[in-house]
Amino acid sequence: MQGNQQGQLIYVVSDSIGETAELVVRAGASQFDRFLFDVQKYPYIEDKESIDEIIASAKESRAMIVFTLVIPELNAYITKQAALHGIPALDVMGPLMNTLQGMLKEPPTGKPGLVRRLDEEYFRKVDAIEFAVKYDDGRDPRGLLRADVVLIGVSRTSKTPLSMYLANKRLKVANVPLVPEVEPPEELFQLPIERCIGLTINPEQLNGIRTERLKALGLTAQANYANLERIAEELAYSKRIIERLGCTVIDVSNKAVEETANIILEMIRKNNLRTERK
């Protein structure tokens, strides 16, 4: 490929934003460091008329075309027109999709922009996990009003594991421990009740969980933390706060984190459906 002062023109053509093709072009161009390249993007191409304009411009400018058009009709059209006018053209996605189709015995969806949607989903998940860590265990009550879900309950009712599990489902979750000696943050009482979920548990099971926790920390199992009377006091206090809020309660006794999380996800789904119908 010959270079010039203006740089060798490469047209990146895509039915989405063109990130994939541009990345491939820049990676390839980096291996020819004695030449200049001018990359021009043509995103969101959805019709043959737009392709005709690009072909005409590429022919006049002696540009190369690199494209990611997953709609079969447009892919075939730009391939044909480039060959007809003697324009160098590279189909970035086609060979890979053809190979996958042959291996999987199933045609591709032909929907543009799916990679970007996957990227957006990934970053939403990362944001949700960072949110769950930041607003774990009532560290900053200012996060409560920004949360999709707020979990409340006494210590060792799986608030943190649930927060992280739901964060992986792209929900922003905060949690607040309920302790008799500490008044809950006022932000908790400003939440819509459908966004707040109270967690409760059988006293004897909680006693066993806390006892094992103390042992793991090298502390005596007789500490007040695992005392049944103390546990009963905490659960009674938690019940009063939950009733004051009027929020949904889930008994996590003998439930795996995944089971409780699925209950919460189903509740959210139903709430969203009710909202959409209004």
H/E stretch holding 198: strand 196-200
Task: Supply 159's token pair.
Answer: 């608030």
Determine the Cα–Cα distance for residues 228 and 196; give it in Å rounded to an integer: 27
Long-range contacts of 86-90 (CB under 8 A, 24+ apart): 86/59, 87/55, 87/58, 87/59, 87/63, 88/64, 89/64, 89/65, 90/64, 90/65, 90/66
- Residue 154 annotated as lining a ligand binding site: yes
Cβ proximity of 200 and 153 under 8 Å: yes
Helix, strand, or coil here: 249?
strand
Helix, strand, or coil here: 172?
coil
- Residue 253 annotated as lining a ligand binding site: no
- Residue 238 annotated as lining a ligand binding site: no
Task: Supply 231's token pair.
Answer: 């546990």
- Residue 105 annotated as lining a ligand binding site: no
- Residue 126 annotated as lining a ligand binding site: no
- Residue 109 annotated as lining a ligand binding site: no
Q: Which residue numbers belong to the known binding site? A: 153-160
Residues belonging to the binding site for ADP are 153-160
